[in-house]
């Protein structure tokens, strides 16, 4: 066995074993393991206490698979009809989401004295919640079947579909290709999303019939292969791989979807942990302190606006007060798309150099605090506060005019 392979096995094995211990610790103390995974990545990443180099490529690929599996598992929870209905009902919430969460990022860039290109980049970073992190949090907290979860999912899907339009335009702006190049990229993105969505809704039953729920091995290989294939094609066409994976999950139904969920769950947990660790591995802790205060201020503002977005979206469809807060607080974390957007800007070399560090610190703050905030509605004191608030609202005297 080659020396490099030996080191790779040691690093991967040691880190995965550590993640197992951290996951157990997190659940014993009533904390989502996501912040612990991120901190482990910081410790063993660039600029950390004990940097791991041989396994970085492995974790990079595993992180991509992790996001894809998180999204296909979310898609398996819902049918195509439910998706269309939720998208229609959540369209106003999607508009509110864009206004409430993109504008603060753009305004903050101007306050820092950055140009309009940096403002567009930072608007995207603060706009989109992390589908991967939120999917993991909902699974950890046992909320996938909650009444407010379709609302959260609808907002995430609208954001992912919006990213399918935003990313090609952003790439064109950063490259300076002008309106023609941006229009072509946008056309390809829109066509791809529509095509995949139509296939998922109209021909999903044919896809399910081609996979047998009676043969576990064939079903696992077929679903996993189809998911990775569609996600890869979507990414190649400048559309989110997450959108492609989610629509594969939507297309599957019946016993196939049920058995696929059972078999993919362990793989999802493994590669989701890898995703969060990799996020920490590629972050240099030394870049964070100079931009920590601005990132914290931006995080506080946009965590509030994102919570308000989810609250209003849940209220609009008649969900009661506890569910509104669960929906709002679940949407707080930003993650994979924010990092992708910052990475595109840095690679172009035409934006403020501090933007990458600010984005990293911002995402880390929201990803670490988001899973903690998502647990607030489960605490007894929060439930008591909601009951007192409801009693106070009912007791308010009616204002009349003579």
The answer to whether the beta carbons of residues 308 and 150 sit under 8 Å apart is: no
Burial class, 201, CB count within 10 angstroms (exposed 0-12 / middle 13-18 / buried 19+): middle
Pairwise CA distance, residues 381 & 41, whole Å: 33
Mean pLDDT of 57-81: 79
Range of weakest confidence among 13-17, 58-62, 88-92, 94-98? 88-92
SS3 of 267-291: the string is HHHHHHHHHHHHHHHCCCHHHCHHH
pLDDT at 400: 47
Range of weakest confidence among 74-88, 156-170, 242-256? 74-88
Residue 78, pLDDT > 90, answer no
Pairwise CA distance, residues 222 & 220, whole Å: 6
* Contact partners, residue 112, CB within 8 Å, separation at least 6: 294, 352
CATH architecture of 72-275+285-379: Up-down Bundle (1.20)
pLDDT at 64: 83
Residue 311, pLDDT > 90, answer yes
CA 330 and chain centroid, separation = 11
Mean pLDDT of 384-395: 81
Alpha helices in 141-289 (DSSP H): 149-175, 178-202, 204-209, 216-236, 241-251, 254-281
The answer to whether the beta carbons of residues 234 and 196 sit under 8 Å apart is: yes
CA 71 and chain centroid, separation = 9
Pairwise CA distance, residues 158 & 97, whole Å: 9
What are residue 267's phi and psi, to 5 degrees? -65, -40
How far apart, in Å, are the Cα atoms of 116 and each of 113, 125, 342?
A: 10, 14, 15
Torsion of CA 91, 84, 159, 247, to 10 degrees: -170
Sign of CA dihedral 193, 199, 202, 208: negative
- With cut-offs at 50, 70 and 90, classify the pLDDT of residue 300: very high
Whole-number average pLDDT of the chain: 81
Residue 401, pLDDT > 50, answer no
Task: Single out the residue of 155, 191, 210 nearest to residue 324, CA to CA.
Answer: 155
Pairwise CA distance, residues 151 & 318, whole Å: 11
Task: Single out the residue of 31, 8, 46 nearest to residue 373, CA to CA.
Answer: 31
pLDDT at 293: 93
pLDDT at 211: 78
- In the chain, where the domains are located: 72-275+285-379
């Amino acid at each position: 066995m080659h020396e490099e392979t030996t080191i790779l096995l040691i690093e991967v094995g040691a880190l995965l074993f550590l993640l197992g211990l951290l996951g157990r610790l997190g659940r014993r103390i009533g904390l989502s393991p996501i912040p612990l995974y991120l901190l482990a990545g910081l410790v063993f990443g660039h600029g950390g206490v004990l940097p791991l180099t041989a396994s970085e490529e492995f974790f990079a690929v595993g992180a991509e698979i992790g996001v894809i599996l998180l999204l296909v598992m979310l898609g398996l929870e819902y049918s195509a009809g439910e998706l269309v209905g939720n998208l229609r009902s959540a369209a106003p919430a999607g508009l509110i989401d864009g206004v409430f969460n993109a504008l603060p990022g753009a305004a903050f860039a101007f306050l820092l004295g950055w140009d309009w290109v940096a403002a567009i980049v930072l608007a995207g970073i603060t706009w989109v919640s992390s589908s991967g992190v939120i999917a993991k949090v909902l699974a950890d907290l046992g909320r996938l079947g909650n009444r407010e979860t379709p609302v959260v999912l609808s907002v995430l899907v609208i954001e992912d579909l919006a990213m399918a339009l935003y990313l090609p335009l952003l790439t064109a702006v950063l490259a300076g290709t002008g309106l023609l190049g941006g229009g072509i990229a946008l056309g390809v993105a829109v066509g791809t999303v529509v095509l995949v969505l139509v296939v998922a809704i109209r021909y999903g039953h044919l896809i399910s019939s081609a996979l047998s729920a009676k043969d576990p091995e064939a079903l696992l290989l077929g679903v996993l292969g189809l998911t990775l294939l569609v996600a890869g094609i979507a990414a190649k066409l400048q559309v989110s791989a997450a959108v492609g994976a989610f629509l594969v999950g939507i297309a599957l139904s019946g016993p196939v979807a049920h058995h696929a969920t059972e078999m993919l769950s362990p793989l999802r947990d493994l590669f989701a942990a890898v995703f969060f660790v990799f996020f920490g591995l590629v972050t240099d802790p030394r870049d964070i302190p100079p931009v920590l205060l601005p990132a914290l201020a931006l995080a506080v503002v946009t965590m509030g606006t994102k919570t308000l977005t989810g609250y209003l979206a849940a209220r609009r469809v008649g969900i009661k007060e506890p569910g509104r807060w669960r929906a709002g607080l679940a949407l707080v974390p930003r993650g994979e798309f924010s990092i992708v957007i910052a990475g595109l800007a840095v690679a172009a070399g035409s934006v403020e150099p501090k933007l990458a560090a600010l984005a990293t610190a911002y995402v880390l703050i929201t990803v670490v605090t988001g899973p903690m905030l998502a647990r607030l509605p489960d605490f007894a004191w929060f439930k008591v506060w909601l009951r007192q608030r409801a009693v106070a609202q009912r007791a308010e005297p009616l204002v009349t005019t003579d």
